[in-house]
Chain A
Amino acid sequence: MKACPQTMYSGARLSKDRLGSPCLVPDTSTGGNFFNSLSRLLPVAIALMVTAVALAFVVLPAGASIQDAAIANPEYRAFPVIGSRVAIWVVAQLHLMFAAFVLAVPMFAVIIEIIGMVTKDKRYDALAHEFTKLLSVSFSLTATLGALMVVMLVVLYPRLTEYMVSIFSWTFFPYILLFFLEAVFLYSYYYGWGKFSPKVHLTLGICLNIVGTAIMFIADAWLTFMNTPNGISETGALVSMADAVNNFIWMPINIHRMIANVAFGGSIAAAYGAYKYLGARTPEEKAHYDWMGYVGNFISISALLPLPFAGYWLGKEIYAYSQSLGITLMGGTFSWLFIIQAILIGNLFLAANYYLWLSMERIEGAERFRKFIKYLLASIAVTFLVWATPHSLVASIEEARQMGGSNHPMLGVLGVMSAKNTAVNILILTTYISFLLYRRGNKEPTVSWAKAGQNAQLAIFVGAISLVIFLGIYGYFVEARVRIALSVPQVLAVLFTMISVTIIDIYLFKGAKSRGEIKWGKMPDRAQYALFFITITFAWTMGLMGYVRAGMRQHWHVFGVMRDTSPDAFTPTLGFASNVISVTVLIFFLFIAVVFWLTGLPSKKDWEPKDARQSTSDEEVSA
């Protein structure tokens, strides 16, 4: 007997091959105060609530009486004033932002802890602990927002929720179990700092990361299924849950999110450093938080560099699933969204470079590289402008006639993928050069092969940039299908350059002579605002990409399977979406401000009655 009924899009499925720095030791007291107790209990309570909801979903549909009741239930319910779509949009986005942060911090906290263990430098351990401090409250907020989102889905979108549960019912149990485990590992990792042997503590951190990543992978299955449904019959009935989970964009989204989470989490940690730096009163505090901001930003930008490559893979899989879905995403309705994205990413690179250039001001010996900054700025400006050039312009009929169409005779050439891919790759390489200059700011190589090594690095750069530009130009003279494939060697050239030059650099500056010291804490305030700018831009970019991921389905809850028949079935304007994203990001930052405040609370002086404070003061005066 042949297998069960064919899955949807089986044709597409077949097309896939794969079925000397100062150190301020932070306050490590964890305290047994109200906030800590609350943060320990809240996630467990929320997990219980989510478990109850999930169990209700799994168990209840079996009863005929409940099914009868479901007949009377509406497909949608309206949320007052702002409507159901905006309500669930804002809550889901806030949940995602906090979840990204909570998943990312343990990743780099563990890495920093390992660096501390290997180098036996205590300040790394202290830094990792300080990053982890932000997790406690954030974890509670993530869980609260997640529970709120589940409740809103049940109430506002019962038909969609019921269908999703019918497909993924059994994935909820491991999800809840992992959630409990994450709470256990997270709090034992945080509160167990210094209480266990380093190896045991590190193991807790690694377990926390594994569990956190598994949670994200499960949740990603639900959301990616909505875009590229798989493992179902033509009527939408489940045929294979494994295929439903492993749909076309599941793994690309997993990888993209892991990298993006680190970039976003690093930027939040950097913003925390910037916030503390601006409020610091002593040079030691300033030095410590300057360093913290630098490390956070370094993590963030390091993760940002490979992110576009993960994005390429994601885009490729969307096209592999459905050309029309891919074209809806990249052309037509959403083509202008990617111009906004170019402005956001361009701003990220610009701000990251600006921060690095300002950082070089505090390095003795780095002034010799100052002359290169104007060239780097010019490269960023040009590539930024090319990337943000639209293919077709907003023009009046008269203007369009004068141009001979909606494409500008000169600028229209820059609005195509050949030019944009080239610009992005050069932009990444420029940022990498800024980092290299920063890295060698106060260093002088002493190895015998220094000149040859630097020449080799230069040759690699020249070769890679030449290849990227050549392929970009060549793309104008070949067929579309060849042109699309040219992005792969461009990306590989950039990756090869970054890896090979870094390896050479590490050995080149081994035992290097120092030209001066790094004066931590000697940073202008505007550098801290550059860090805030990066964080805001990251958050806004996340919001925009969240919008397009859902928006590309257009009038489908589950693409091609379940139509959106609600009054919100239309795709709103980019302006409306931008306003929703801005409000969401503002709410997120207000929450983050609360997180920062709560995180700093244990290090404040204990409260004393006014009389006691007065008498202490009098005693001090008389003494």
Chain B
Amino acid sequence: MNTGLKILLFVLAVLAFYSYVGNTVPQKITYPPETAELSGDMTTDELVEAGAQIVAGKGTCLGCHTVGSTVEASSLRFPDLGNIGGIAGTRIEGKSALEYLAESLYDPAKYIVEGFLPGMPVVSRPPIGLTDNEILAVMAYLQSLGGTATITLATTHSFTGQGASESSAAAPAVALGAGLDGQGVFDTYMCATCHNIDLPDRLVGPSLFDVGSRLTRGEIYEAVMDPDATIAEGYPGVVMATTLGASGFYQKVSPEEIRSLVNFLVEHTGN
């Protein structure tokens, strides 16, 4: 037989063998997680059930944690959740079970269970990106593990409001905006409601009439992206960050649009 043909047949045989191996192992398609449908009238039991689904699905909690594992705790890489509902109130002195569970989900690096290393992601941020309601459902489920669930969607705690927004949970973290120019961004997000751009007169926020001569490009960028980093004298903090956050600005605006907005503001030197 021709040498080239022999080599070709050999290549085909080896490739077929490896394909066979790949098709022999367990086959599973993994779909993107879906946002849970939660309504305000859900009972605690329904919330527990929804929480169990989130824990196994979108929350990806079971990738690391076990529930009711019989393996010794020292052999586990992350704490078992089998009795978390029963011990949550005793983990940190003076902290209720509700607050402890909330903290462990929103700010998991703050308290690390003895014998384990930090490594849990903040579940309210990407890539997991659970909403406040989804986190409440998870907390209800965790309460039910070794304890009694009491949480409803009306329950509030110290971290309420810090979950992923409903729109961003379903949408890409980066939606490249609508390709707006600087003026377009300024108008779309109604910056003029609080900032005067044409006159030096102050409104709720400082005038941007001469912002290009007062601040550097980097400072303007920071003022947009992290408004509370530096507060102009005589103005309240938090307002701008809260307003922009509520409008979905940080989820919707693209890097190009931010650059355009900054360029637009830099040009306003008061002349």
The reply to whether A237 and B22 contact each other, CB–CB distance below 8 Å, is no
The smallest C-beta distance from A470 to any residue of chain B, in angstroms, reads: 19
Given contacts A394-B25, A559-B127, A564-B32, contact A479 B14 (CB under 8 A): no
| B33 to A, closest residue via Cβ | A555
Interface residues of B in 191-240 (CB under 8 A from A): 218-219, 221-222, 225-226, 229-230
A561: contacting residue among B16, B18, B174, CB under 8 A: B174
The reply to whether A71 and B178 contact each other, CB–CB distance below 8 Å, is yes
The reply to whether B23 and A64 contact each other, CB–CB distance below 8 Å, is no
A68 within 8 A of B: yes
C-alpha gap A533/B179 in the complex (Å): 52
Interface-facing stretch out of A112-120, A188-196, A582-590: A582-590
Given contacts A236-B173, A561-B126, A563-B172, contact A586 B230 (CB under 8 A): no
| A575 to B, closest residue via Cβ | B23
C-alpha gap A537/B17 in the complex (Å): 11
Contact with B along A471-499 (1 / 0, CB 8 A): 00000001111000000000000000000
A560 within 8 A of B: yes
Interface residues of A in 52-72 (CB under 8 A from B): 61, 64, 67-68, 70-71
The reply to whether A11 and B109 contact each other, CB–CB distance below 8 Å, is yes
Given contacts A238-B255, A323-B64, contact A480 B25 (CB under 8 A): no
A159: contacting residue among B7, B29, B176, B258, CB under 8 A: B176
The reply to whether B75 and A340 contact each other, CB–CB distance below 8 Å, is no
C-alpha gap A358/B135 in the complex (Å): 62
A571 within 8 A of B: yes
C-alpha gap A343/B21 in the complex (Å): 9
| A393 to B, closest residue via Cβ | B26
Chain A residue contacts of B19, Cβ below 8 A: 575, 578-579, 581-582
A314 within 8 A of B: no
The reply to whether B11 and A480 contact each other, CB–CB distance below 8 Å, is no
C-alpha gap A57/B75 in the complex (Å): 51
Interface residues of A in 251-304 (CB under 8 A from B): 275, 278-279
Given contacts A235-B251, A278-B3, A479-B115, contact A324 B60 (CB under 8 A): yes
A104 within 8 A of B: no
Chain A residue contacts of B29, Cβ below 8 A: 570-573
The reply to whether B179 and A68 contact each other, CB–CB distance below 8 Å, is yes
B229: contacting residue among A2, A64, A159, A529, CB under 8 A: A2
B interface secondary structure, majority: loop
C-alpha gap A554/B77 in the complex (Å): 23
Chain A residue contacts of B171, Cβ below 8 A: 563
B190 within 8 A of A: no
Given contacts A5-B225, A324-B128, A578-B22, contact A536 B77 (CB under 8 A): no
A185 within 8 A of B: no
The reply to whether B63 and A332 contact each other, CB–CB distance below 8 Å, is yes
Interface residues of B in 109-163 (CB under 8 A from A): 109, 115-121, 125-128
Chain A residue contacts of B126, Cβ below 8 A: 560-561
Chain A residue contacts of B115, Cβ below 8 A: 479
C-alpha gap A66/B11 in the complex (Å): 48
The smallest C-beta distance from B55 to any residue of chain A, in angstroms, reads: 13
Chain B residue contacts of A333, Cβ below 8 A: 28, 30
Chain B residue contacts of A331, Cβ below 8 A: 63
C-alpha gap A562/B75 in the complex (Å): 35
Chain A residue contacts of B25, Cβ below 8 A: 336, 339-340, 394, 574-575
A235: contacting residue among B11, B32, B221, B250, CB under 8 A: B250
C-alpha gap A297/B117 in the complex (Å): 43
The reply to whether A237 and B258 contact each other, CB–CB distance below 8 Å, is yes
Chain B residue contacts of A328, Cβ below 8 A: 60, 63
A233 within 8 A of B: yes
B92 within 8 A of A: no
Q: Could you list 12 A-B pairs, sorted by A, with CB under 8 Å?
A: A167-B255, A275-B7, A323-B64, A323-B121, A328-B63, A479-B74, A481-B77, A481-B117, A537-B14, A560-B125, A560-B126, A563-B172
Q: Which residues of B contact A (CB under 8 A)?
A: 3-4, 7, 10-12, 14-16, 18-19, 21-23, 25-33, 60, 63-64, 74-77, 109, 115-121, 125-128, 171-174, 176, 178-181, 218-219, 221-222, 225-226, 229-230, 250-251, 253-256, 258
Add 14 more A-B contacts to A564-B32, A572-B29 (CB < 8 A): A1-B229, A67-B180, A71-B179, A159-B176, A163-B255, A324-B63, A327-B64, A394-B26, A479-B74, A536-B11, A537-B14, A562-B173, A581-B19, A582-B18
- Shortest 7 CB-CB contacts between residues of A and residues of B: A578-B22, A67-B179, A323-B119, A555-B32, A575-B23, A560-B127, A236-B174
